């Protein structure tokens, strides 16, 4: 089957598809966390003392003694086997955006040949996958390939059900033989600890006596596209690169704004229900879902959780999203820009920090004292984004997110902070010395509670800002839809730790000088604003004027592509930040640069090969068939004086030739080897390969509108986006 025939067949299949049965909804209380070995299940299964020990570990991160680990392992095994599990697996989070697992059976045999099950504390605590095939950025040579996975008790174990059974999954860290972090979880845990230590210093100076462990929280809004599998199977680009490398824009796009928050198509609703029921069983609090701006685009957001658990849940969610979509006949696209000219997908990472004693420190609060804490933490974020904007840009860099950032509907690649009018004016008053006058009269005279109460209503939302305050949290909007939230969370926690350390030092000095607490806070924040206040921007982040002002007047970095952004990992200031806070050693950090750069280069190579292949074997043959057909017809009907004069024939010929000559150029470019450095290689990918891909595409997309519809081999945008 070729060309139109396969497209027509796809449409027929989709139109005649019997709706997937919608299961009778089950009460939430019946399914909530049934597949999770969380604290509630442990309390039932363990002795009082063992439970107390593990609870302490889970809530404070304190180490667990081996005897308790044995008891927990044994209870976990009994529970997992009762759920039908025969295998267990440490699940870990390598430096890619996906997860990895190695399954082991509970089974051992005794000398009599009978099968028994075994799961000891040491098996729970440590695993030894052959780690040589995971990216390590030259931290580990293959001849020293041993890598360890180690149980992270602060993220609960769960049962993963797949078509071929149930497996006990144990969230773990992944570490090299020599002790270096090879994953995304270790730096996240370390960054949380660094933030906790720094925050405690500030809170103690503010006179807080009881300070519970602080945690960063994360609630991520995930955007995605669903495309029917019949179309997807005809598009090698969607299957292999996750985005369409060809495709002319449809006559109707999103310009009518009729999709956002519109009624969700019935088939998608059935998918969402099945998917969310799975999430609930796994203790993932799916909270909102709706249509997104583009046709075929949707969003899901779980309720926020502590960042370590949220990051694990986010990864699990992406896996389940894809597999459940498949069960429902969809391909789920998490790519940041699957369709050119159509809205892209992001992952808004909502982030705050807090604890059980002081609450959310990014919430203005109801007393003047709470407001002072709030101002300090908020100021710390402002300083962090200003000092480490380059790092924040680097942690969201990927070949796929490059297509979205800076495009007209996504945040710009320049990192600035949006505070909202009222909070911005509070910080400006601090900078201008106005609040310092008032502060001399003590806490009550600041009059902040009144102002900041209004701030709690996010009201006017600046969607053009990459980093926005939204009432009681910051929202990092430039994160890509396919990315792990871990990298962004590590960067945010670490920059916050660094800023809180800076604040603590300044605050201590001001207090030692005899300043009253309120005045000391304002003095510190005044200095902070003078140094870093120019990162605050409430205007239109898309405008040309801003891009100019940001770079030329404010000295902010504009790093449009990953090739520009990834070298930030090697910037001495970034190395110092990570080393000083103990989140990553210099080697660990540099290995990350290598891994991410390699992924960038490889993704573009895959796309280049696909473009060559599709243009040569699918598009060009369709075009020549079209041209031959026209020539034949004009000859056959010559007696009737059919003329080709008013057709697009010459244009089609020109584009066909130009497309193939661009393909030739692209092929030659792919032959380039032996780059001086990783940076030159990345630049070559960004500045040579990318434009060539686009050149081929431009001609192909023009041809799509010229070639007879019944010859075009690839499902068109209007089909993929509108036929459900
Ligand atoms: P919107 O689309 O209006 O920004 P959503 O309700 O879709 O908001 O998503 C907001 C996300 O922010 C949710 O995941 C929510 O749980 C999360 N969130 C709310 N409060 C906090 C907080 N204090 N810290 C971190 N995340 C939060
Ligand atoms: Mg949001």
**500 CA to centre of ligand 2 in angstroms:** 26
- Is 23 inside a domain boundary? no
- Between 91 and 405, name the one with better pLDDT: 91
Q: Give the ligand at the shortest distance from the Cα of 473.
A: 1
Closest ligand 1 atom number to CA of residue 472: 23
Per DSSP, the three-state class of 169 is strand
What pLDDT is attached to residue 578? 98
The closest residue, in CA terms, to atom 17 on ligand 1 is 219
- Total domain count for the chain? 3
Burial 376-391 (b: 16+ CB within 10 A, else e): bbbbbbbbbbbbbbbb
Out of 155, 183, 211, pick the residue that ends a domain. Answer: 183
pLDDT at residue 679, rounded to an integer? 97
Residue with tokens 């630049």: 683
| pLDDT tens digits for range 563-608 | 999 999 999 999 999 999 999 999 999 999 999 999 999 999 999 9
Task: State in Å: Cα 531 to ligand 2 middle.
Answer: 29
Report the separation in Å between the CA atom of 471 and the middle of ligand 1, taken as the mean of its atom positions.
Answer: 10
Distance in Å, CA 349 to ligand 2 centroid: 8
More confident residue, 111 or 664: 664
* 483-525 pLDDT tens trace: 999 999 999 999 999 999 999 999 999 999 988 899 999 999 9
* Residue 2 resides in a domain: no
Mean pLDDT, residues 411-430: 90
pLDDT tens for 253-303 read 665 556 656 678 888 999 999 999 999 999 999 999 888 878 899 999 999
Same-domain status, 530 and 617: no
145 & 78 share domain: yes
Considering the domain architecture, whether residues 152 and 168 belong to the same structural domain is answered as: yes
pLDDT band at 452 (very low <50, low <70, confident <90, very high): low
CATH number for the domain including 42? 3.10.20.70
Domain that holds residue 109: 32-183
Q: When comparing pLDDT for 117 and 388, which is higher?
A: 388
User: Are residues 693 and 613 part of one domain?
Assistant: yes
Angle subtended by helix axes 586-614 and 649-670, to nearest 10: 140
One domain, residues 125 and 224: no
**Residue 67 Cα distances to 49, 71, 514, 586, angstroms:** 11, 7, 52, 36
Confidence of residue 118 (pLDDT cuts 50, 70, 90): confident
Distance 427 CA to ligand 2 centre (A): 23
In contact, 705 and 249? CB cutoff 8 Å: no
Q: From the CA of 456, which ligand is nearest?
A: 1
Same structural domain for residues 556 and 635? Answer: no
Q: Are strands 165-176 and 85-92 parallel, antiparallel or unpaired?
A: parallel
630 and 557 co-located in one domain = no
Residue 692 in any domain: the answer is yes
Contacting residues for 632 by C-beta, under 8 A, at least 6 apart? none
Give rounded-to-5 percent helix, strand, coil for the chain.
50, 15, 35
563/681 Cα distance (integer angstroms): 9
Average pLDDT over residues 456-461: 54
* Same-domain check for residues 165 and 273: no
Higher model confidence: residue 251 or residue 466?
466
d(CA 616, CA 614): 5
User: CA 6, CA 711: separation in Å to the nearest integer?
Assistant: 10
Same-domain check for residues 173 and 202? no
Look at residues 453, 445, 467 and name the one whose alpha carbon lies nearest to residue 422. Answer: 453
Q: Which of ligand 1's atoms lies nearest the C-alpha of 360? A: 23
In a domain, 22, yes or no: no
**Residue spans of beta strands (DSSP E) within 443-547:** 467-469, 474-476
Quick check: is 20 in a domain? no
The predicted structure's pLDDT at residue 690: 96
Ligand nearest to the CA of 350: 1
Residues with CB under 6 A from ligand 1: 217-219, 221, 287-288, 301-304, 350-352, 360, 472-473
Mean residue pLDDT across the chain? 90
Query: 35-75: per-residue pLDDT in tens?
Result: 999 999 999 999 999 999 999 998 887 888 889 999 999 99
Position 25 pLDDT exceeds 90: no
Distance 466 CA to ligand 1 centre (A): 16
Domain contains 1? no
Q: What is the pLDDT of residue 17?
A: 83
| CA dist., res. 375 & res. 429, Å (int) | 12
Read off φ and ψ for residue 46, nearest 5 degrees.
-110, 160
Per residue in 310-362, pLDDT tens?
999 999 999 999 999 999 999 999 999 999 988 899 999 999 999 999 999 99
- What is the share, in percent, of the chain residues with pLDDT greater than 70? 93
Query: What is the whole-number distance in angstroms between the Cα of residue 639 and the centre of ligand 1?
Result: 71
Q: Which two tokens stand for residue 673?
A: 């080897």
* Ligand 1 atom nearest 220 alpha carbon: 14
Mutate to test the pocket of ligand 1, among 217, 289, 300, 304 (most ligand atoms within 8 A of CB): 304
pLDDT recorded at residue 416? 96
State the distance from the centre of ligand 1 to the C-alpha of 554, rounded, in angstroms: 30
d(CA 615, CA 663): 8
* % the chain with pLDDT above 90: 69
Phi, psi angle pair for 673, to nearest 5°: -130, -175
In 61-120, alpha helices (H): 66-82
What pLDDT sits at residue 371?
87
Distance (Å, whole) CA 457 – CA 291:
24
Same domain, 553 and 614: no
Residue 451 lies in a domain: yes
**Same domain flag for 534 and 593:** yes
Which run of H or of E encompasses 494? helix 486-512
Record the tokens describing residue 73, joined without a space.
């392992």
**Whether pLDDT at 459 is above 50:** no
- Cα–Cα distance measured from residue 536 to residue 529, given in angstroms and rounded to the nearest whole number: 10
Mean predicted confidence (pLDDT) in 631-653 = 81
Pocket perturbation via mutation, ligand 1, pick of 301, 358, 474 by most ligand atoms within 8 A of CB: 301
**Among the three residues 584, 599, 614, which one is the final residue of a domain in this structure?**
599
Residues 6+ apart with CB under 8 A from 256: none
Q: Where a domain ends, among 599, 626, 653?
A: 599
Q: What is the pLDDT of residues 161-183, one digit of tens each?
A: 988 789 999 999 999 888 899 99
DSSP for 499-517 reads HHHHHHHHHHHHHHTT--H
- Whether 457 and 319 share a structural domain: yes
* Nearest protein Cα to ligand 1, atom 11: 219
Q: Give the Cα separation of 140 and 145 in Å (integer).
A: 6
The answer to whether residue 445 scores a pLDDT higher than 70 is no
C-alpha gyration radius of the chain:
28
Asked whether the beta carbons of 288 and 350 are under 8 A apart, the reply is no
* Residue 338, in any domain of the structure: yes
In this structure, which residue's CA is closest to atom 2 in ligand 1?
221
Ion ligand 2 — residues with CB under 5 Å?
Answer: 348
Higher pLDDT, 153 or 369: 153
Check if the beta carbon of residue 289 is closer than 8 Å to that of residue 282: no
290 forms bridges with which residues in the sheet? Answer: 299
CATH number of the domain encompassing residue 613: 1.20.120.1560
């Amino acid at each position: 089957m070729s060309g139109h025939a396969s497209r027509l067949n796809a449409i027929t299949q989709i139109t005649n598809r019997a709706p997937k049965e919608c299961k009778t909804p089950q009460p939430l209380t019946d399914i909530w966390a049934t597949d999770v070995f969380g604290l509630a299940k442990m309390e039932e299964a363990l002795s009082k003392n063992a439970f107390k020990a593990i609870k302490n570990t889970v809530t404070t991160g304190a180490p667990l003694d081996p005897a308790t680990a044995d008891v927990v392992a044994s209870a976990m095994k009994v529970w997992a086997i009762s759920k039908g599990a025969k295998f267990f697996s440490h699940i870990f989070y390598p430096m890619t955006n996906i997860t990895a697992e190695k399954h082991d059976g509970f089974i051992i045999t005794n000398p009599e040949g009978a099968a028994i099950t075994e799961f000891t504390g040491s098996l729970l605590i440590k695993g030894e996958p052959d780690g040589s095939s995971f990216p390590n950025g030259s931290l580990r040579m293959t001849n020293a390939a041993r890598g360890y996975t180690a149980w992270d008790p602060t993220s609960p174990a769960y049962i993963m059900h797949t078509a071929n059974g149930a497996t006990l999954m144990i969230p773990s860290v992944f570490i090299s033989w020599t002790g270096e972090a090879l994953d995304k979880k270790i730096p996240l845990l370390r960054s949380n600890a660094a933030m906790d230590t720094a925050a405690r210093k500030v809170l103690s100076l503010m006179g807080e006596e009881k300070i519970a462990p602080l945690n960063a929280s994360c609630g991520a809004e995930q955007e995605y596209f669903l495309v029917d599998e019949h179309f997807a199977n005809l598009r090698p680009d969607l299957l292999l690169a996750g985005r369409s490398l060809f495709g002319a824009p449809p006559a109707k796009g999103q310009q009518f704004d009729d999709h956002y928050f519109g009624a969700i198509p019935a088939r998608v609703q059935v998918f969402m229900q099945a998917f969310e029921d799975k999430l609930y069983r796994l203790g993932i609090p799916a909270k909102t879902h709706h249509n997104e701006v583009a046709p075929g685009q949707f969003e899901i957001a779980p309720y926020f959780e502590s960042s370590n658990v949220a990051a694990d849940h986010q990864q699990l969610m992406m896996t389940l999203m894809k597999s459940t979509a498949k069960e429902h006949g969809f391909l789920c696209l998490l790519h940041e820009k699957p369709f050119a000219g159509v809205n892209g997908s992001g992952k808004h990472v909502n982030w705050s920090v807090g604890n059980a004693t002081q609450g959310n420190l990014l919430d203005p609060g109801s007393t003047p004292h709470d407001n002072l804490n709030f101002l300090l933490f908020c100021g710390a974020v402002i300083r962090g984004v200003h000092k480490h904007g380059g790092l924040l840009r680097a942690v969201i860099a990927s070949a796929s997110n490059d297509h979205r950032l800076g495009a007209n509907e996504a945040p710009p690649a320049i990192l600035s902070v949006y505070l909202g009018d009222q909070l911005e004016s509070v910080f400006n008053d601090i900078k201008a010395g106005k609040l310092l006058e008032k502060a001399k009269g003590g806490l009550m005279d600041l009059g902040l509670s009144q102002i900041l109460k209004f701030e709690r209503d996010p009201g006017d939302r600046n969607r053009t800002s990459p980093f926005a305050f939204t009432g009681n949290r910051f929202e990092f909007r430039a994160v890509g839809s396919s990315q792990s939230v871990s990298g962004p969370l590590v960067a945010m926690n670490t920059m916050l730790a660094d800023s809180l350390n800076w604040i603590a030092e300044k605050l201590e000095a001001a207090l030692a000088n005899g300043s009253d607490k309120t005045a000391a806070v304002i003095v510190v924040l005044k200095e902070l604003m003078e140094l870093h206040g120019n990162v605050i921007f409430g205007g239109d982040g898309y405008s040309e004027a801003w891009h100019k002002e940001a770079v030329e007047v404010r000295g902010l970095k504009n790093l449009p592509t990953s090739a520009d952004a990834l070298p930030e990992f090697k910037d001495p200031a970034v190395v110092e930040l990570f080393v000083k806070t103990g989140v990553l050693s210099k080697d660990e950090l540099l290995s990350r640069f290598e891994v991410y750069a390699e992924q960038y280069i490889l993704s573009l190579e895959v796309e280049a090969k696909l473009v060559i292949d599709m243009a040569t074997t699918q598009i060009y043959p369709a075009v020549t068939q079209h041209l031959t057909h026209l020539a034949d017809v004009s000859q056959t009907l010559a007696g009737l004086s059919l003329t080709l004069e008013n057709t697009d024939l010459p244009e089609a010929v020109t584009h066909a030739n130009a497309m193939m000559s661009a393909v030739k150029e692209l092929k030659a470019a792919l032959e380039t080897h032996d780059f001086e450095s990783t940076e030159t290689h990345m630049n070559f990918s960004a500045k040579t390969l990318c434009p060539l891909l686009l050149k081929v595409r431009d001609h192909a997309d023009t041809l799509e509108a010229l070639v007879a519809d019944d010859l075009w081999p690839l499902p068109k945008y209007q089909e993929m986006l509108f036929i459900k």
